[in-house]
Structure 1
Amino acid sequence: MFKKKSLLLLLIIGLLVFFVACGDDSDNKVSTDDEPGTAETKDDETKDDGAEDEGLGYTTDPQVEYHYFVGATGQDINTKDTFLGQKFLEETGVSFQVEYLVGDLMEKLGVMVAGGTYPDLIVPDHGIEMMLDAGAFIPLNDLLEEHGPNLLEVYGPYLDRITMTDGNIYYLPFGVNVNEYIPDPNINQGAFWVQRDVLRVNDYPKITTVDELFELITAYADENPQIDGMNTIPFTGLTYDTNWFTFSNIPNHLAGFPNDGGVQVDMETHEATVYGDSDVAYEWLKKLNELNAEGYLDQEMFVMNLDDFLAKVSSGRVLSFFAYGWQFGSARTALEELDEPYREFVPLPIVIEEGIEDQYLDPPAFVQNRGVGISVNADNPERIIQFLDNLVREENQKLISWGNEGEHHEVDENGMFYRTEEQVELVADQDFRLEYGMTTFEWDWPRLQGSLKDGNALLPSAQPAVAALEYDEYDKEVLGAYGVETYSQLFAEPQDRPWYPAWSANVPAGSEPALFDEKAQEVTKRHYPRIVLADPADFEKEWNDFKDAYRSIEYLDEYEAFFTETVKNRVNGIWQFD
């Protein structure tokens, strides 16, 4: 599946509303219209129309407000209601009413396309091909040349990757690596997560295989059938709806591959092959089948939704599961609030058998098929580009990540940023992050990754001094027992994969690879639960039924050929092709 990083919930379709404030000697007045558009605000203290900020060269008058739709869950907000948004408004005269997704993304985008009415700025997530096919985005080439010098500087090394075959750039991806690549010391990607207490009572054993993991959690469950009065859940998983990839990706990781999507890429030949019916998939499902037959598998694993999964994980009674770190942040926070630190989780790089080197950690990557585009309905798009150009200035990126010096971080004698314990606690507060603007601007906008020019990490958690402070005594107990300083050091170093991630390829909607992917998800969603929950005597039959159905899916060969071509082209520096 090509979307590996989005959570989609239930949808409501709202009217697109904009406000036009008419300036006079009295209070500003507001008018509304049925069409999406841009709000302009002006009062008798503003500069003449078209006035530019003398320091930065951006047009700051009249002030304008745009509608920004983000195809992911979040809290709707107006950027000017945040400290950072107010600063950016003063610098560019631009603010945004940010609307986050409620419901089904493709349905929401489909309504936009059908009506030909779009918000001014759109993050369509995995629906980006729909927007491109509909002609929803304007070309950005000239706007970048005339109004985006900072954008051109940071995106410069990647321009060939985001320029379509017609020669145009239609959207700006997130997460541009600049200066030095600094890996995250924590695990926000895939891992098998194991409750601390399971490891503690076993003197923090070194476990690397599924068999070792299952032996550990079943023995613990036998000794502790209940936790805090609730039945212990030895193993569960996230399988609901668009999070199905979390479960279907597991055989790939167990085989020692990173998340390239629905394929594994041979490091020598660069051939891409599917793994849904691989030998490792067989072994993994067989082990789950045995776990289920012995009564150790969560019986709701294939029917519960995301909220159910998060509730179980945050209850303290789950011993292990596989997930991507970014998927259960709220559950981690809830566990911390329980004040039972040994019920929290440790990420481990489990593989199917000894001798396989894990590859859970992402190598340096550029995801080209996600980003933000300016819609054909946006008035004065140069104002939007100027806002984004200002946003990626190093000064502002530093504020988004680190906040104000002396308030939210300090600087040592060597110029390196650090935080006091009080500052770590402050910036972890969700109310503060929302009010300051960190929550709003830390993603879903053009963002820099890597390091600042002075060598400081753009991501505070990647800064050694900050990472050390964020670990409590229980983290340090775990890390010390395993002889490492950070959780990422429990994992093997990522191998160089210049194409990574393969799933970021632009796959045309309705194309043969897209049709295979859609059908493959249907088949695995139908058969994997049957295989796992079957009587062990019926396992082989259920597996063979699945394999026959999987191999009969139309366009399997075309799917593999598409990604093989994608990988080989990227290795040769070609990122867009017909």
Structure 2
Amino acid sequence: MKKRTKAVALTMVSAMLLLTVSACSGGKNEPSNGNGNTPADSGPITLTFFDKNTGDLFTNPVAEEITKRTGVKIEIQQPTGDPSEKLNLMLTSNTLPDIVLMDRRSDIVNRYIAAKAIIPLNDLIDQHGPNIKEMYGDVLNKSRHSDGNNYYLNNWYGMDPDPGWSFNMRADILKELGYGDRIESGESFTQEEFVDLLKQFKEKYPQVDGKPSIPLTFNADHMPTVVGTFKGMYGMKSYYESDGQIGLEVREPRYKEMMGFINDLQALALLDNEWAINKTQIFDQKVSSERVFAVGGGEPLEPNRLLREKYGEDTDKQFLAFKVTAPGVDPSATTYGPRSSLGWDAIAITAANKHPEQTIKFMDFLASEEGQYLLMWGLEGEHWEMVDGKHKPFPEVLQGFKDNWNEYSKQTGIRKWTWFVKNGNGSDGTPLDLVAKYERNAYNQHAIKSMKDSTWDTAIYDNLGPGGGTPDALNEQKIKDLLSQGFTQLAYAESKDEFEALYAKLMKDLEDNNAPRIEQIYTENYKKQMELWK
């Protein structure tokens, strides 16, 4: 009897021990073995994700398929208010999500690294990131921190060959003025030809609907594109590089000439007198009113849409993109398309993440070509199919985005979660970005031809400035303000004498505010970056 009682007791103790071990090993969704796989009966894990670009729930068909394929559910943290402020608050209060997406070019990335708020990914990528290695290639090398570690994966990386900025001109006016052949060929205009076109337009159409015509205008809400469009004419880049030294753009030998050209346009009343104060709403109204012949910058999206709405999809009243070349500049040497192959965003795993191995596997799947087609095209059989070895979207998908981009994206999940996005085409030649690149409108079809060979990689000049919050950073901002103010003042100078005086003052102000010191920092950081990239 005693033996039987003892046996029962031992059995009960053994069972309790088994339950205890099971609870300890499985209750926190920890990996069951060294390879980081989730136990089959534990279900998906949930990771919190701060994405500065979206706050929608992770519940649409694409999201559900991602969870099915990776064993990971995502809880999107609402980016209410200013994302930069939210990122700073999370850092200072130590309330970090599992994954964070932030502006790669912002100093916030360095602050997160310095605070050890995000973890190095090198070992995780080596062990669990074969697709990351294949897709990112040398981008990983170029994205290393000064300590040699990769702390994030780039988003919207790889060179995007699509056009950036241009001079956009009305197709119907070009035909009227005898340049219809340029529409077909996409051939560029010389500076002299462009000025002549502006003059002819003003002479032929002094007024439109009782209001003065406008040969050329810009959107002041996008001032960097205004400056960049004119710099593109002259083949200028982010900085002036000479003999291994990095200088401000104003050091370019032809910078003063460029500013003189803009001032001439203003003096001849060929440039809208309000170009420097045009807000987007006013700009769109002007440009769609048919009073304007040319605009600089990116595609005038809203004006072109309104003109198509009024006159039909194939109307020649739309604006088309062209290069204008400064004297002595070959069309292939223009720089209208600044693009960074290192992308826009940084996606990192934080120190608060308790599942780094499962997280990197999640990232590896989404970064793969298969994952990219899921994110950007949707589900095979539901949104697209393979035809003759190529991805082909169903017509209703393309139509859904035409009818209501935002709503259709939210409903299907296609292009809603733009993570680890690689520019360019998949292995079958179809664009990874279905919505933006599969079907081209007339403007984009023309721009691909007319703006060819003008795209260049800005990555070598990324993040050369001084560290944020330092006296040098404050000084750099002062210099940027002087350059911005100087650009507008020189453009509006009322005489050649005033132009010369303003230019001399700008150069002196830069010297007085330690511009050489900032240029020295640019040069030092540039050399360090080039050494790191080897």
Measured against the shorter chain, the TM-score band is 0.7 to 0.9
Partner residue in 2 for 1:157: 138
Report whether the alignment pairs 1:281 with 2:255. Answer: yes
Q: CA deviation at 1:100?
A: 4.5
Pairwise mapping of residues 362-441 of structure 1 onto structure 2 (< 5 A)?
Answer: 366-367=341-342, 370-404=345-379, 408-409=383-384, 411-413=386-388, 415-418=389-392, 424-429=398-403, 430=405, 431-441=407-417
Q: CA deviation at 1:411?
A: 4.3
Report whether the alignment pairs 1:137 with 2:118. Answer: yes
Partner residue in 2 for 1:255: 234
Quickly say closer, same or farther: Cα 1:425–1:323, change in 2 above 3 A: same
Task: Write the deviation string for residues 465-504 of structure 1: whole angstroms up to 9, x where unpaired.
Answer: x45xx345xx6xxx9xxxxx7522323536987x744125
Pairwise mapping of residues 493-508 of structure 1 onto structure 2 (< 5 A)?
Answer: 493=453, 500-505=459-464, 508=467
Greater C-alpha radius of gyration: 2
Alignment check: 8 A CA contact 1:409 1:417 kept? yes
Letter paired with 2:294: S
Distance (Å, rounded) in 1 between the aligned partners of 2:360 and 2:475: 37
Q: CA deviation at 1:525?
A: 2.4
Partner residue in 1 for 2:63: 85
Alignment check: 8 A CA contact 1:207 1:213 kept? no
Structure 2: gaps of 5 or more residues: 1-25
Pairwise mapping of residues 201-216 of structure 1 onto structure 2 (< 5 A)?
Answer: 201-202=176-177, 203-204=179-180, 205=182, 206-216=187-197
Distance (Å, rounded) in 1 between the aligned partners of 2:80 and 2:282: 20
Report whether the alignment pairs 1:66 with 2:48. Answer: yes
Letter paired with 1:76: G
Task: Write the deviation string for residues 65-113 of structure 1: whole angstroms up to 9, x where unpaired.
Answer: 514131xxx5531232x3211211233231232544744x554544444
Partner residue in 2 for 1:219: 200
Task: Write the deviation string for residues 429-465 of structure 1: whole angstroms up to 9, x where unpaired.
Answer: 40323322233223xx2123333334444344897xx
Q: Give the superposed CA RMSD.
A: 3.9
Alignment check: 8 A CA contact 1:120 1:377 kept? yes
Report whether the alignment pairs 1:543 with 2:513. Answer: no
Partner residue in 2 for 1:20: none
Quickly say closer, same or farther: Cα 1:403–1:363, change in 2 above 3 A: same
Letter paired with 1:552: D
Distance (Å, rounded) in 2 between the aligned partners of 1:380 and 1:570: 32
Alignment check: 8 A CA contact 2:47 2:99 kept? no
Distance (Å, rounded) in 2 between the aligned partners of 1:222 and 1:456: 46
Distance (Å, rounded) in 2 between the aligned partners of 1:274 and 1:353: 22
Quickly say closer, same or farther: Cα 1:410–1:210, change in 2 above 3 A: farther
- Which of residues 297, 320, 325 in structure 1 aligns to 2:271? 297
The alignment's TM-score, normalised by the length of structure 2, stands at 0.76
Report whether the alignment pairs 1:523 with 2:482. Answer: yes
Report whether the alignment pairs 1:346 with 2:299. Answer: no
- Which of residues 425, 446, 449 in structure 1 aligns to 2:423? 449
Partner residue in 2 for 1:32: none
Quickly say closer, same or farther: Cα 1:192–1:515, change in 2 above 3 A: farther
The alignment's TM-score, normalised by the length of structure 1, stands at 0.71
Q: CA deviation at 1:116?
A: 3.9
Quickly say closer, same or farther: Cα 1:67–1:418, change in 2 above 3 A: closer
Q: Pick which of 525-534 and 501-510 moved more.
A: 501-510
- Which of residues 201, 214, 218 in structure 2 aligns to 1:233? 214
Report whether the alignment pairs 1:264 with 2:240. Answer: yes
Distance (Å, rounded) in 2 between the aligned partners of 1:110 and 1:490: 43
Distance (Å, rounded) in 2 between the aligned partners of 1:343 and 1:138: 53
Q: CA deviation at 1:541?
A: 1.9
Q: CA deviation at 1:539?
A: 2.2
Partner residue in 2 for 1:124: 102
Distance (Å, rounded) in 2 between the aligned partners of 1:246 and 1:399: 33
Quickly say closer, same or farther: Cα 1:558–1:329, change in 2 above 3 A: farther
Quickly say closer, same or farther: Cα 1:348–1:77, change in 2 above 3 A: same
Task: For residue 276 of structure 1, give the secondary structure of its aligned residue in structure 2.
Answer: helix
Alignment check: 8 A CA contact 1:367 1:501 kept? no
Distance (Å, rounded) in 2 between the aligned partners of 1:314 and 1:119: 45
Pairwise mapping of residues 25-40 of structure 1 onto structure 2 (< 5 A)?
Answer: none
Quickly say closer, same or farther: Cα 1:376–1:553, change in 2 above 3 A: same
- Which of residues 448, 451, 459 in structure 2 aligns to 1:491? 451
Letter paired with 2:478: K
Distance (Å, rounded) in 2 between the aligned partners of 1:248 and 1:510: 27
Alignment check: 8 A CA contact 1:137 1:376 kept? yes
Letter paired with 1:88: I
Partner residue in 1 for 2:12: none
Distance (Å, rounded) in 2 between the aligned partners of 1:233 and 1:310: 13
Partner residue in 1 for 2:6: none
Letter paired with 1:246: T
Count of equivalent residues: 488
Quickly say closer, same or farther: Cα 1:533–1:495, change in 2 above 3 A: closer
Pairwise mapping of residues 41-120 of structure 1 onto structure 2 (< 5 A)?
Answer: 50=29, 61-70=43-52, 74=53, 76-80=55-59, 82-91=60-69, 92-97=71-76, 99-100=78-79, 102-103=81-82, 106-120=84-98
Task: Write the deviation string for residues 44-70 of structure 1: whole angstroms up to 9, x where unpaired.
Answer: xxx9863989xx956772542514131
Letter paired with 1:389: D
Quickly say closer, same or farther: Cα 1:302–1:118, change in 2 above 3 A: farther
Distance (Å, rounded) in 2 between the aligned partners of 1:311 and 1:514: 38
Q: CA deviation at 1:170?
A: 1.7
Q: CA deviation at 1:408?
A: 4.7
Alignment check: 8 A CA contact 1:349 1:360 kept? no
Identity %: 21
Distance (Å, rounded) in 1 between the aligned partners of 2:290 and 2:392: 32
Alignment check: 8 A CA contact 1:63 1:94 kept? yes
Alignment check: 8 A CA contact 2:218 2:278 kept? no
Alignment check: 8 A CA contact 1:208 1:350 kept? yes
Letter paired with 1:547: M
